[in-house]
Amino acid sequence: MNLTPLQKARYEYQPKLPGMLRNGIAEICVKEGSDTQSVADQEKIKALFPNTYGKKEITFEKGQNTSEAKKQVVGVILSGGQAPGGHNVVCGLYDALKATSSDNVLYGFKNGPIGLLEDDYLVFDDEYINQFRNTGGFDIIGSGRTKLETEEQFAVAAEVCKKHGITAIVIIGGDDSNTNAAVLAEYFAAHKTGVQVIGCPKTIDGDLKNDDIECSFGFDTATKTYSEVIGNIERDANSAKKYWHFIKVMGRSASHVALECALETQPNICLISEEVAEKKMSFAQITDYIADSVAKRAEKGMNFGVALIPEGVVEFVPEFSVLIHEINELLAGAKADAFNALPGWKEKYEFIKNGLTKESFDVFAILPETIQQQLFLERDPHGNVQVSLIESEKLFSAMVKANLDERKKAGTYKGKFNPLHHFFGYEGRCAFPSNFDADYCYSLGYNAFMLIQYGYTGYLSKVSNLSKPADEWVAGGMPITKMMNMERRHGEDKPVIKKALVELDGKPFTYFAERRDQWAVETCYTFPGAIQYFGPSEVCDLTTRTLALEKA
Ligand code: FBP
């Protein structure tokens, strides 16, 4: 492999562990806290998890290691979208496992949960794992989105574990994957397989967090990567003074990524999906809001600006979600074949017009043709429109342009509007992890092994006090069932980890909301620059504005 100087230098980086894990394996003891209960629906969750519900929260401390000496054979799985730092979770897990006993073995199941079901794996050794220390990506074993959720799959997983003598499985994933980790842990416990299951909180979206889990890993690096480029675009906009940049950022249905990037870069506009939903904002209202900023800035001679659009925002616009629902119905089952058999867009357009209600067709008709067609192109495995594939940055800029044309006709706007479009998502998911993510992830993996060693199952590896320096971080574990409630999924009530959306009364949103009117009209851009890996701690180890504000 050809190594860049940075890659070589990052191999040498020694991730920081929480203080209580720094004295060597022999000096890590466990302190049990109180019994837990789920965040809601306690009786239902308890009934569904009779073997793993209500366990105690735990923290690790410096002290005599009292765990049972036993050979550990652990399997690790990366699940879902990439997030910077995943490799370090595996490295931390491996290092703790080998430091405990050189006889311990770490299996990596390839390409996500499917690797466990298909018994497709590699066995880690020093030479292999050392190539991945402090690097981005999930290519160490690959990732995938197969869900582990049926009894049949669990039975196969139990067989595979038995075959290799596996004592524990570590699942590195988001809210859905960790929900499945809890269900798998319960299955293994109920069937007395002796296999433990530990989860680790991953997702750049930042929507796996709660009172216990302060943030998911990857959010820090991904938002810093996007913020660097957004800041660069702001500076370009402020230099050339001729473009409005519409930038969509990843984050699925939550707007944590957009909000964090806005706090880092102070753009003119940042939409927050949760606010759109709460205020039931229509397309017309959102468009007017953006066009007002464009017009006010134009009055001051500033025909440029930057608008951040969270990936999932269109889903939250009431009339758009009705339209999506009707399109899903319109193309359900065999009707999709009839639609696809139509010769051209003209015929398809007629079919759509006849199939939608007048209200939804009116919404559809005002969309740019490319967006109209996107709504009928890609379907997810359930046959639904994939809202994340809609180019909402183009949709909003087209609607703002139409709005400004009207204002021009009415003589209320005389500026120029030249939009450019960007989508930042995949660029941030495999970046070299920031020092924060490198340290946090290594700690999560190391800690996950300590949970295994002390016999816990159905727990999420928990490292907290994250806004403080790493030596003050607190390592421990949290029963996954504590984070669960019942939700309706695919027509059934299911136990799931509650997804964390942006809280409109939370400190990060409040800080933003208090300043955004000024940002909309003036030029208040800030330029975070590239992630720094080497240098003073106040430059290299700072975490997100979101976490800093939440913990202030
Ligand atoms: P996870 O929730 O699995 O961490 O993935 C997050 C994410 O990056 C979203 O922000 C984005 O919508 C999605 O994955 C893209 O998925 P894919 O990689 O399948 O295109």
pLDDT digits (tens, 9 = 90+) for 285-304: 999 999 999 999 999 999 99
* Per-residue model confidence (pLDDT) at position 526: 98
Q: Give the distance (Å) from ligand 1 centre to CA of residue 143.
A: 11
Q: Which atom of ligand 1 lies closest to the CA of 218? A: 4
Q: Give the distance (Å) from ligand 1 centre to CA of residue 347.
A: 34
Q: Which atom of ligand 1 lies closest to the CA of 429? A: 8
Q: Given a cut of 70, is residue 428 above it in pLDDT?
A: yes
At residue 512 the predicted structure's pLDDT band, cuts being 50, 70 and 90, is very high
**Same domain? 230 vs 91:** no
Q: Which atom of ligand 1 lies closest to the CA of 83? A: 4
**Same domain? 262 vs 371:** no
**Same domain? 370 vs 403:** no
DSSP letters for 248-268: EE--TT--HHHHHHHHHH--S
Q: Which atom of ligand 1 lies closest to the CA of 79? A: 3
At residue 93 the predicted structure's pLDDT band, cuts being 50, 70 and 90, is very high
Q: Which residue's alpha carbon is at the smallest distance from atom 8 of ligand 1? A: 81
- 3-state SS class at 478: strand
Residue 83 lies in a domain: yes
Q: Which residue's alpha carbon is at the smallest distance from atom 10 of ligand 1? A: 251
**Same domain? 271 vs 341:** no
Residue to substitute in 177, 179, 203 for testing ligand 1 pocket (most ligand atoms within 8 angstroms of CB): 203
Quick one: average pLDDT of 410-426? 96
Q: Which atom of ligand 1 lies closest to the CA of 82? A: 4
At residue 337 the predicted structure's pLDDT band, cuts being 50, 70 and 90, is confident
**Same domain? 116 vs 164:** yes
Q: Given a cut of 80, is residue 490 above it in pLDDT?
A: no
Q: Give the distance (Å) from ligand 1 centre to CA of residue 133.
A: 23
Please give the share of the chain, as a percent, with pLDDT higher than 70: 99
**Same domain? 286 vs 347:** no
Dihedral pair phi/psi, residue 71, rounded to 5° = -70, 130
Q: Which residue's alpha carbon is at the smallest distance from atom 18 of ligand 1? A: 81
Q: Give the distance (Å) from ligand 1 centre to CA of residue 79.
A: 11
Residue to substitute in 388, 427, 437, 496 for testing ligand 1 pocket (most ligand atoms within 8 angstroms of CB): 388
Residue 501 lies in a domain: no
Please give the share of the chain, as a percent, with pLDDT higher than 90: 87
Q: CB–CB of 303/241 below 8 Å?
A: yes
Contacts of 16 (CB under 8 A, 6+ apart): 435, 439, 442, 443, 470, 471
Dihedral pair phi/psi, residue 485, rounded to 5° = -145, 175
Sign of CA dihedral 158, 160, 162, 164: negative
* Per-residue model confidence (pLDDT) at position 380: 67
The parent domain of residue 21 ranges over: 5-218+430-456+468-491
Residue to substitute in 175, 180, 205 for testing ligand 1 pocket (most ligand atoms within 8 angstroms of CB): 205
pTM of the prediction?
0.95
Q: Which atom of ligand 1 lies closest to the CA of 311? A: 12
Strands (DSSP E) found in 27-185: 28-35, 56-62, 73-78, 105-109, 121-123, 168-173
Residue 57 lies in a domain: yes
Q: Give the distance (Å) from ligand 1 centre to CA of residue 459.
A: 24
* Per-residue model confidence (pLDDT) at position 384: 66
Domain of residue 45, CATH code:
3.40.50.450
Q: CB–CB of 95/446 below 8 Å?
A: yes
Residue 254 lies in a domain: yes
Q: Given a cut of 70, is residue 381 above it in pLDDT?
A: no
Quick one: average pLDDT of 354-374? 91
- Pocket of ligand 1 from Cβ distances under 6 Å: 80-81, 83, 174, 203-205, 250-252, 311, 388, 429
Quick one: average pLDDT of 221-246? 98
pLDDT tens sequence across 45-65: 999 999 999 999 999 999 999
**Same domain? 308 vs 452:** no
Q: Give the distance (Å) from ligand 1 centre to CA of residue 506.
A: 25
**Same domain? 17 vs 96:** yes
**Same domain? 258 vs 362:** no
Task: Give the Cα separation of 529 and 542 in Å (integer).
Answer: 13
Residue 264 lies in a domain: yes
Domain of residue 405, CATH code:
3.40.50.460
At residue 378 the predicted structure's pLDDT band, cuts being 50, 70 and 90, is low
* DSSP code for 188: H
Q: Give the distance (Å) from ligand 1 centre to CA of residue 426.
A: 9
**Same domain? 409 vs 267:** yes
**Same domain? 419 vs 436:** no
**Higher pLDDT pick, 475 / 148:** 475
Q: Which residue's alpha carbon is at the smallest distance from atom 7 of ligand 1? A: 81
**Same domain? 437 vs 417:** no
Estimate to the nearest angstrom the gap between the alpha carbon of 301 and the chain centroid.
39
Q: Which residue's alpha carbon is at the smallest distance from atom 15 of ligand 1? A: 81
Q: Given a cut of 80, is residue 551 above it in pLDDT?
A: yes
Instruction: Determine the angle formed by the axes of helices 358-366 and 318-330, rounding to 10 degrees.
Output: 110
* Per-residue model confidence (pLDDT) at position 335: 80
Residue 487 lies in a domain: yes
Q: Give the distance (Å) from ligand 1 centre to CA of residue 173.
A: 11
Q: Give the distance (Å) from ligand 1 centre to CA of residue 226.
A: 15
At residue 390 the predicted structure's pLDDT band, cuts being 50, 70 and 90, is confident
The domain tally of the chain equals 3
Residue to substitute in 139, 175, 178, 204 for testing ligand 1 pocket (most ligand atoms within 8 angstroms of CB): 204
Q: Which residue's alpha carbon is at the smallest distance from atom 11 of ligand 1? A: 252
Q: Which atom of ligand 1 lies closest to the CA of 80? A: 3
Which residues participate in catalysis according to the annotation? Answer: 205
Q: Which residue's alpha carbon is at the smallest distance from atom 16 of ligand 1? A: 81
Residue 322 lies in a domain: no
Identify how many contiguous H helices and E strands the chain contains and give both numbers. 23, 15
- 3-state SS class at 460: strand
Residue to substitute in 250, 257, 441 for testing ligand 1 pocket (most ligand atoms within 8 angstroms of CB): 250
Q: Give the distance (Å) from ligand 1 centre to CA of residue 301.
A: 39
Q: Which atom of ligand 1 lies closest to the CA of 204? A: 4
Task: Give the Cα separation of 171 and 184 in Å (integer).
Answer: 10
Q: Which residue's alpha carbon is at the smallest distance from atom 12 of ligand 1? A: 252
Residue 499 lies in a domain: no
At residue 149 the predicted structure's pLDDT band, cuts being 50, 70 and 90, is confident
* Per-residue model confidence (pLDDT) at position 382: 59
